[in-house]
Amino acid sequence: MADQQFEPKIVGFLCRWCSYTGADLAGTSRMEYPANMVGIKVMCSGRVDPTFVVKALKEGADGVLIAGCHPGDCHYSEGNYKAMRRHPMLLNLLDQFGVDPKRIRQEWISASEGELFAEVVSEFTDQIRQLGPLDWNKRIEADCETV
């Protein structure tokens, strides 16, 4: 369902020590990437509760990016491993709800990987553009009047 006018809205959860800093580096290095993703800083990718992802989808996000430190390098030792284990379980559940798992992406981006950050955001934005808008609330609108 590609829509020429459609600009994806992507919410990102970026861990403060690695990926948020990597995003900062992309910025200070004047790297260009689409403005469709707005990042929310969390201390660790392990702080990302699946309810955040679902909340974002319900509020109108077309895609969610969760970025953390590379496995083994987490500033808090193992928080990203927890995130890593939650991710496929969330995708499997969302799949049953009819949400394309490609809309939720997990990436490992370190503080020095500004270029990677820019690449990921560009690629992800394109991908969501291809998938089209999620429009969750519209999709599930009931077929009758209710109170």
Using rule CB under 8 A, residue 78 touches other proteins: yes
Using rule CB under 8 A, residue 90 touches other proteins: yes
Site for other proteins in 95-124 (CB under 8 A): 96-100
Stretch that binds other proteins, among 23-31, 76-84, 116-124 (CB under 8 A): 76-84
Using rule CB under 8 A, residue 81 touches other proteins: yes
Q: How would you class 1 by CB atoms within 10 Å of its CB: exposed for 0-12, middle for 13-18, buried for 19 or more?
A: exposed
DSSP 134: -
If residue 84 lies in a helix (H) or strand (E), which one and from where to where? helix 79-96
User: According to CB under 8 A, which one of 23, 26, 42, 66 is a site residue for other proteins?
Assistant: 42
Cα separation, 84 vs 105, whole angstroms: 11
Using rule CB under 8 A, residue 35 touches other proteins: no
Using the minimum distance from each CB to other proteins, give the nearer residue, 86 or 117: 86
Cβ proximity of 67 and 73 under 8 Å? no
